[in-house]
Amino acid sequence: LKKRPGSVEAGTAKNDEARTAGEEDVYMHGALTHEVLACAYEVHTVLGPGLLESAYRACMERELRLRDLAYEAECPMPIRYKGEALDRGYRADLIIEGKVIVELEAVDKLLPIHYTQLFTYLRLTGLHVGLLINFNVSSLRNGIKRVVHKARPEAALLPSTP
């Protein structure tokens, strides 16, 4: 395997620190999403599939507290339309450390609307990384999707000149 520039050899004292920094470069908030997914795996291992979303959310909140991860639950997603904030009941399941939105599901199959909803929440909040986790699967790895929203540079929003 090729070493990344600036990488540290395995077994050195700085290895874990360098790997975490490298993950953050390659995967935005990679260490944080890894920790959130560890919580989800623990919840799924203990409960298995077949429960309501609200049960998984309560257990995820407990697991996040046990791991000292700051989070907000049922975060309102107000829509801004022509300068006015409209609260229409949209709520993100979890926002972790103010950086990652987590949408939990307990459905037979993830549908395009689930991705669209998470992507919209990312756009509305200005956050860039979201996790869509469906607990109603026999193996949780088949129920996890990572969604990244990259905001356009300001220059892209300017009209092009002829």
pLDDT in tens, the chain (162 residues): 333 333 333 333 333 333 344 444 456 788 899 999 999 999 999 999 999 999 999 999 999 999 999 999 999 887 888 888 887 778 999 999 999 999 999 999 999 999 999 999 998 888 999 999 999 999 999 999 999 988 654 433 334 444
pLDDT given for residue 115 in this prediction: 95
pLDDT given for residue 73 in this prediction: 96
Beta strands in the chain (DSSP E): 71-76, 79-81, 84-86, 91-96, 100-105, 129-134, 144-148
Please give the backbone phi and psi of residue 102, each rounded to the nearest 5 degrees, phi first.
Answer: -120, 120
Give this prediction's pTM: 0.75
Secondary-structure percent of the chain, ordered helix, strand, coil, rounded to 5: 40, 20, 40
CA-angle at 103, arms to 146 and 92, nearest 5°: 130
The amino acid that residue 59 corresponds to is C
pLDDT given for residue 67 in this prediction: 96
- Look at residues 95, 130, 124, 128 and name the one whose alpha carbon lies nearest to residue 110: 130
pLDDT given for residue 60 in this prediction: 98
Residue pair 150/123 in contact (Cβ under 8 Å)? The answer is no
CB contact burial 134-147 (16+ within 10 A = b; e otherwise): bbbbeebeebbbbb
- What's the rounded Cα separation, in Å, for the pair 76 and 89? 7
pLDDT given for residue 5 in this prediction: 38
Residue with tokens 């639950």: 73
